[in-house]
Structure 1
Amino acid sequence: MKKINRIITICCLLIATAPAVAEIQVLDYIVAIVNDDVIVNSTLQEKVQLVLDKWRQKHRRLPPRAQLEKQVLEELIISALQLQVAKRSGIQIEDSRLNEQLRDIAAQNQMDLPSFRDHVERAGQSFVEFRESLRKQMIMRALQKRQVVKRITVTDREIDNFLANQIQQGTASSEYHIWHILIATPEAASPEEIKAKEQKAQKVLAKLKAGADFQEMAISVSDARQVTESAGDLGWKKAGELPTLFNKVINKMAVGEIQGLLRNPSGFHIIKLVDKRDSEKSIITQTQARHILIKTNALVSDSEAQKRLEELKYRIEQGDDFAKLAQAYSQDTLSAAKGGSLDWINPGDLVHEFEEVMDSLSESQVSEPFQSRYGWHIVQVLARREHDNTKKARRVKADQQIRKRKFEAELQSWQRRLREEAYVEYRLVDR
C-alpha cells in the first residue's frame, strides 16, 4: 500500500501548493486498486476515447459512456494483473525487440518508421505512449505463451477426428461471421449466482429478439474479452475455430438468426450469425529447384564465398554439370548428396530471402550469388507446377483452429482465475 499512499500524498501536495488565485481544476483520481497497483481516471478516459474513436468509424450511435467505462476498466484490470505476473516472472521486452516490432508494424502499413511515427502523432496519440503500450502488449503475449500456449498440444488423432466431424456436419469448407455476447459465471458459483446470471442473460436475449442493437448490447453487458474494441464481433471463423458449444448449432442457423442461451463453464452465451461463406480449394505453385551453398566462417569471408560461387556459376554457364558441382562443393550436405536438389518446394517452405530470389528466376535460369541467414547460394529453377494442396492445407488449418480454440478457452479460464484471486477495489464514480 506504500505506492498508493505516495500517490495520495502527491495529490495532497499539489492541492496545498496550488496558488490561491489559480482556477480550480479537478485532479486525477484513482478508479481502481489492483493488488498493490492503481488505475487512474486519466488512463481509463484515454482508453475509452480510443474505443469511441474506433466505434465512430463503424457505427452511428455511440454506446452508453457509463457502461463503456465499466467494460474498459475491467479490461484494464485484467491487463494490470497480467503485467504484475509478468513482472514477478522476470519477463521483459528489450528496446531492440520493441523497435523491430515497430518497424514491422510500419512496414505492414507501407511506411518507414519515421513516417509511421508522424502518422501516430497526427492521429492525436503520443508516440512514446504508443510505444510503451505496444511493449505491454508484447509482455502480455510472452506471458500468455508461457502460461497458456506452451501447455496446448494437438495430436494427429485430434486432427483426424476434427476433419471427420467437419465432413459429417458439412462444414469442412464453411466460414462464419459471428457476433457474440457472454454473461459470465464465476468459478465455483453458487446455484443462486448461476440463476441470477441466467435471468440476466434471458433478459438480454429477449431485448435482442425484440430488435435491440446486438453490438450496443454487447458493449453494455458482455463479459467477453476485449468486447469494448470488438463490440462482440468475432469476425470470420472456421467452424473449428469456434467453441464446441457453438459448433453444435451454427450449421443449422440462418444468416441473421440469434441463438441462445448456450451454456458452458464460462457462462451463458448468445450468438448471431451475421454471414456465411465457403472457402475455396488451395491451389499453390510448387517450384523444383537445386542450389549450391557456401558457408562463411573465420576462414571464409562473405567476399570469398561470393567469389567462389561466381566461379561455379561461370563453369555452369560454360557447360559444367550443376549436379556434379553441387556434390563436390555445396556445404548443404543433405541436398549435395542429391546434386543440390531441393525437390518440390511449397511457398513458405524455405527462408524468405531464398524464396524471393528463387521466385524471380525463369526455368533453367541460374541466379547470381546471394546471401541468406545460412550463407551464400546460387540457385537454379528446374520446373514449376500448379499443385492442389487442399488436403495438406486442411490439416494445417485444422491444427491451427484446434490450437486457437484451446488457447481461447485456456486463456479465458486463466484470466478468470487471476481476477478471482486478486484484490480489486473499484472507485469508479457512478454517472
Structure 2
Amino acid sequence: MNVKTKLTDCLRPLLLGAVLLGTAAQAEVQSIDRVVAIVDNDVIMQSQLDDRLREVQNTIAKRGAALPPEHVLSQQVLERLIIENLQLQIGDRSGIRITDEELNQAIGTIAQRNNMSVEQFRAALAQDGLSFDDAREQVRREMIISRVRQRRVAERIQVTDQEVQNFLASDLGKMQLSEEFHLANILIPVPESSSPETIQAADKQATQIYQQLKQGADFAQLAISSSGSETALEGGDMGWRKAAQLPAPFDGMIGALSVGDVTEPMRTPGGFIIIKLLEKRGGGSQVKDEVHVRHILIKPSEIRSEAETERLVQRLYDRIMAGEDFAELAKAFSEDPGSALNGGDLNWIDPSSLVPEFQKVMANTASGEVSKPFKSPYGWHVLEVLGRRATDSSEEFRKQAALNALRNRKYDEELQAWLRQIRDEAYVEVKL
C-alpha cells in the first residue's frame, strides 16, 4: 500500500488538488535556501517549493500522465502554496488552534482508514520515507485550513426552502436523488444476422442458466463460466446504475426487484441477458428504526469516585426492580440535564445517534424491560426500552439530500470566489 497516496486521500477532502506537504526530502540538508515569495506577513522558501514540486511530480508520474514543463508546473505549485499560506495566516489571526487531543484523534482516524493501528501507521510512514512528526504537522495544517473555510465560506451559505422544492421538482434533482442499483449480468451473446437455430440455441442456454440460478447456483460463477459480457471475469458485476441508465425493458422493471432477485432472460440486440440485483440505495422508501427509551445517568465526580458511582446506580436499579417508579427516580437522581426533568425520557430516538455502549445495551433490552447498570463515556446508566417502531422518512431524506446537494454546489462556487478574493487582496511578491 502506498501510504502517501492513502494519507493524501484522507487529508484533502476540501483542498484544491491533493498532494502531501513535505516529504523525506525535508530532512535533506539544504546547502542554499532563499525566499521565493513574500505572502503578507510570511514567506515561502525555495526548499518548500522544491519539496512540494517533487511530490506533485511523483503523483503525476504514478498516474501515468505526462509531466508539463517544469517551469509551468513550478508556477502552479507556487500559486497553491501561496493560497494555502494565506489561509493558514487567516487561521492564526482568527485564533484557530488544533489541540494535541484533536490531532491524535485525526491521526487515529487516518490510521483506521488505512486498516492500521497508529504504530503500524507510523512504521508504514517511515518505510515510505515520511516522518511521523511531519505527518502530524501536515494534518494540523489541513485541519486549520478546513476550519478557516468552515468559518469564512460554509457558514454563510444559505439555501431556501423554495430552492429545495425547485431542485426536487427539476429533472436534475430527480436524476440525482433517484434510486441506485448495484447490478450483475450474464449475457449469452447472439451475433448479428444469426440464424434462427443460433438464436434458439442461445435462448435455450439462457433459460437453462436461469433455471440453475433459481435452484441456488452461484451467479458470479455462472457469469465467469458462461457470460459473454465484458464484466464476466468480475462475476458479471456492473457496479452502481440508475434505472434511467439501463436499456429497455430493464429500466422499467428493475425497481420492482428485491435484493437478490434475478430477471428472466431478456432478448436485447446483443443477445439474451439475465440481471441480478445485488444492492440498492437512495431513492424510494427510507425506513429507519427508532426506539422509545428513558434512562438514568449518574456521573463520577471529584466528590464521588467511580466505585461509589457504580454502587449508586446499582441501588437505583434494585429500587426499580423492587417496584419504584422509574420516572420519579430519574427526576430525583439523573444527572442528564436534557432528560432528567422528563423522567429520563429521551423520546423516540435513532439508535445511530447514540454512543456505541448505549446502542448495544438498548439493542439487547426487550421492550418493557430495564437494563442492568452499564457504563458509557458519560458515566453509569440504567435504561428502560418503552417501545420500538419503523419510521418512513423518505420525504425528510429527499429534502435533506437536496439541501446537501445545493449546499455543496454553492460551497464549491463560494469557495473559489473566496480564494480569488483573498489572493487579490493579499500582498504577494514572487521572487522566482
Same structural fold, with TM-score higher than 0.5 when normalized by the shorter chain: yes
Which amino acid in 2 is paired with 1:152?
I
Is it true that 1:118 corresponds to 2:123 in the alignment?
yes
1:48 alignment counterpart: 53
Is it true that 1:105 corresponds to 2:110 in the alignment?
yes
Following superposition, the deviation at residue 76 of structure 1 comes to 0.9
Percent identity of paired positions between Structure 1 and Structure 2: 41
Following superposition, the deviation at residue 132 of structure 1 comes to 1.4
Instruction: Rate the CA distance shift 1:120–1:320 in 2: closer, same or farther, 3 A.
Output: same
2:158 alignment counterpart: 153
Following superposition, the deviation at residue 79 of structure 1 comes to 0.5
Following superposition, the deviation at residue 354 of structure 1 comes to 2.9
Is it true that 1:394 corresponds to 2:398 in the alignment?
yes
Which amino acid in 1 is paired with 2:151?
R
Which digits, 9 at most, give the CA deviation of each residue in 1:207-266, with x for residues without a partner?
xxxxxxxxxxxxxxxxxxxxxxxxxxxxxxxxxxxxxxxxxxxx99xxxxxxxxxxxxxx
Which amino acid in 2 is paired with 1:153?
Q
Cα distance in 1 for residues equivalent to 2:152 and 2:109:
26
- Give runs of aligned pairs for residues 267-416 of structure 1, distance below 5 A: 279-281=282-284, 282-297=286-301, 299-317=303-321, 322-323=326-327, 325-326=329-330, 329-332=333-336, 335=339, 339-361=343-365, 363=367, 366-372=370-376, 374-416=378-420
Instruction: Rate the CA distance shift 1:368–1:426 in 2: closer, same or farther, 3 A.
Output: same
Cα distance in 2 for residues equivalent to 1:279 and 1:51:
37
5+ residue gaps, structure 1: 1-24, 176-250, 253-276
Contact 2:179 2:283 in 1 (8 A): no
Following superposition, the deviation at residue 117 of structure 1 comes to 1.6
- Give runs of aligned pairs for residues 17-56 of structure 1, distance below 5 A: 27-56=32-61
Following superposition, the deviation at residue 78 of structure 1 comes to 0.5
Following superposition, the deviation at residue 116 of structure 1 comes to 2.0
Following superposition, the deviation at residue 30 of structure 1 comes to 4.2
Contact 1:82 1:143 in 2 (8 A): yes
Contact 2:296 2:335 in 1 (8 A): yes
Which amino acid in 2 is paired with 1:68?
L
Which digits, 9 at most, give the CA deviation of each residue in 1:146-173, with x for residues without a partner?
3223323344444344434468765433
Contact 2:122 2:132 in 1 (8 A): yes
Further displaced range: 160-169 or 76-85:
160-169
2:194 alignment counterpart: none
Q: Which has the higher contact order (CA 8 A, sep 6+)?
A: 1
Contact 2:299 2:378 in 1 (8 A): yes
2:79 alignment counterpart: 74
2:148 alignment counterpart: 143
Cα distance in 2 for residues equivalent to 1:94 and 1:324:
41
Following superposition, the deviation at residue 379 of structure 1 comes to 1.6
Contact 1:52 1:62 in 2 (8 A): no
Instruction: Rate the CA distance shift 1:169–1:311 in 2: closer, same or farther, 3 A.
Output: closer
Cα distance in 1 for residues equivalent to 2:58 and 2:368:
54
Matched pairs, number: 305
Following superposition, the deviation at residue 383 of structure 1 comes to 4.1
Residue in structure 2 matching 1:417, options 418, 421, 432: 421
Cα distance in 1 for residues equivalent to 2:423 and 2:281:
39
Following superposition, the deviation at residue 323 of structure 1 comes to 5.0
Contact 2:157 2:410 in 1 (8 A): yes
Cα distance in 2 for residues equivalent to 1:333 and 1:38:
50
Following superposition, the deviation at residue 305 of structure 1 comes to 2.9
Which digits, 9 at most, give the CA deviation of each residue in 1:79-106, with x for residues without a partner?
1122223333343333343233223323
Which amino acid in 2 is paired with 1:83?
L
Cα distance in 1 for residues equivalent to 2:331 and 2:90:
53
Runs (4 or more) in structure 1 with deviation over 6 Å come to none
Cα distance in 2 for residues equivalent to 1:90 and 1:168:
40
Cα distance in 1 for residues equivalent to 2:424 and 2:338:
54
